[in-house]
Amino acid sequence: MRSKNQTVYLSKIICLTQGKRKEKYIMDRNRLHEMAANPDNIPGIYNYCDRWCERCTFTSRCLQFQMEQEEQISDDPEDTDLENSDFWKKIEDSFSIALEMIQDLAEEEGIDLNDIDIDKEIEGQKKRDEIAHNHPCSKAALEYSELMNNWFDSATDLIQSGESDLQFIEKISFSGRFPKKTVNEIKDNIEVLRWYQHFLYPKIMRAITGKMEEVPEILEDMPKDFEGSAKIALIAIDRTMAAWAGLMQHFPGMEDETLKILVFLGKLRRSLEHTIPGARSFIRPGFDE
């Protein structure tokens, strides 16, 4: 039986190793601690955002964004060449720093890492991932992505085969079919749709697996991470539905197909709200305070 401290600690390990940080950043841990201690930063704000930094007003108070700006990989192709030894040295250094921080955190929590059955934890995570993947909400998120692709594929009178979103926008800009303001609205709607197209599935997966991992006696008085993940997924669905509604008014010829997608997303939204009823009331640091 895993102790309460081990459960909390394992959740911290997951947070430390999630996402692209372990692959992208090479950062001295003392510098990281210094940045994390900045009182202007909002703790944990990056855990429940949509990763759209270009549209976020909180980047100056986000540790994740600051790390990206300070330690992003060079634009030099050699720095990301898999045959380049310097590239792999950076990855090795990144893992070394992460391991040192995990070991330090374990000592602070009074946890012996040798007492944790890593293989068992990994196997348990695989089983939870499989269950979450087969959950109706997760499957619906993947199906929506295909529905969106089908919409663009079927809009042959609007978009030519192989034509990119940018080419489509340029085409309608010079066609004279729409005023500039409308073109900008269409462009914004498409950007929203594309941004969230593949965002929903991983966030819903994280919410569902997080709910399975919940330990009531530990988290009773703490914000539930899985509710925060579900909330940003719901917000993404809200914004996606608004973008589809915006497109529909400009392309009435695709009204039936667009309505089908809106109905599908509405069902997904209700299903996710039913699965994780506390999601809408979750207070995200910074955004909802």
Q: How far apart are CA 15 and CA 218, in angstroms?
A: 17
Residues 6, 115 contacting (CB under 8 angstroms): yes
What is the rounded CA–CA span in Å between residue 273 and residue 267?
10
Query: Which amino acid appears at position 216 of this protein?
Result: P
C-beta of residue 11 within 8 angstroms of C-beta of residue 44: no
Distance in angstroms (rounded) separating the CA atoms of residues 137 and 275: 9
Distance, CA of 89 to CA of 79 (rounded, Å): 10
Is residue 238 a contact partner of residue 195, using CB atoms and an 8 Å limit? no
| CA–CA separation, 118 and 97 (whole Å) | 20
What is d(CA 65, CA 50) in angstroms, rounded to the nearest whole number? 12
* Mean pLDDT of each 10-residue bin along the chain, 289 residues long: 42 44 50 81 94 95 86 54 63 67 73 73 87 96 96 79 79 82 92 96 96 66 88 98 94 92 98 97 94
- CATH entry 1.20.1440 includes domain 131-275: yes
How is residue 57 written in tokens?
A: 């007003």
**CA 248 and chain centroid, separation:** 27
pTM here is 0.77
* The predicted structure's pLDDT at residue 221: 63
Which amino acid does the sequence have at 71? E
Would you state the pLDDT for residue 14? 42
Q: Which helix (H) or strand (E) holds 136?
A: helix 136-154
- What span, in angstroms and rounded, lies between the C-alpha atoms of 231 and 108? 32
Model pLDDT, residue 155? 80
- Residues 6 or more apart whose Cβ sits within 8 Å of residue 250: 178, 182, 185, 186
pLDDT of residue 146: 96
Alpha-carbon Rg for the chain, nearest whole angstrom, is 22
Domain ranges (residues) in the chain: 4-116, 131-275
Q: Using alpha carbons, select from 238, 260, 237, 236 the residue that is nearest to residue 248.
A: 260
Q: Cα–Cα distance between 52 and 196 in angstroms, integer?
A: 10
CA-to-CA distance for 128 and 134, rounded, in angstroms? 10
Amino acid letter for position 41: N
User: How many CB atoms are located within 10 Å of the residue 168 CB?
Assistant: 18
Alpha carbon 142 to its chain centroid, in Å, reads: 15
Rounded Cα distance, 213 and 211, in Å: 5
